[in-house]
Structure 1
Amino acid sequence: MVHDFELFKRNLKQIPVGAFILADKGYQGISAIFKNCLLPLKAKRGCKLHPELKTYNREINKKRIGIEHVFGKLKTFKILSGCYRNRGKRLGLRFNLIAGIYNLQLSEK
């Protein structure tokens, strides 16, 4: 099984120059290989984040919430909610079809 971080590293060259990435706390190591990223900060074990850092996290999360809502909607298609067990070569096609269905639903609202 390929993890999200591995997929990110494989596709790093496809990210446009000057682009920024908004990622969640699970991608803490991303800043070592891609400088233009905004990540919420994690508190160290047994410590609390400073109020200014909490505000920083809140601002990033305000920008990411729309993305998270789309992921939640896309996960209603069971192919995206669990482990992908089909041919890897067709994943892009299937994902694009699901995204197209989602966009069609958006356009009808």
Structure 2
Amino acid sequence: MKNAHLGVAPLTIGGETYRLCFDWEALAAVKTELGKSMSEINVGTLSTPDIAVLVEIGTRRYHGKSLAAADVMEWSPPLRETTQAISLALQYSYFGPDGPPSLAKELADEQREEAGERP
């Protein structure tokens, strides 16, 4: 079933692009597997094993269990790119695919600039 409310954040690991999505099922898994609710997640303060678990959980909707936290740890993708993708996917889970109002405007401005238009 397609759900237009879900926002997806792309993340490339090991040359393959994965889709991160924190739907309600994933958020429940975060609580179960990390012992943290969405409001308790501050990606900048998490350990790398916890970040790897978030990537595993966030990719399950579209990729099943094909990307385990151990795989993420082994690939060691760039931390900044990884945490930004997680943060974006978590924002989508809270605000929807347009993100918070200010983020939606920034994204629209960036898209206009890429298209050669003025914001």
Task: Give the TM-score normalised by the residue count of structure 2.
Answer: 0.25
Q: Which has the higher contact order (CA 8 A, sep 6+)?
A: 2
Larger strand percent: 2
**Structure of greater Rg:** 1
| TM-score normalized with structure 1 length | 0.26
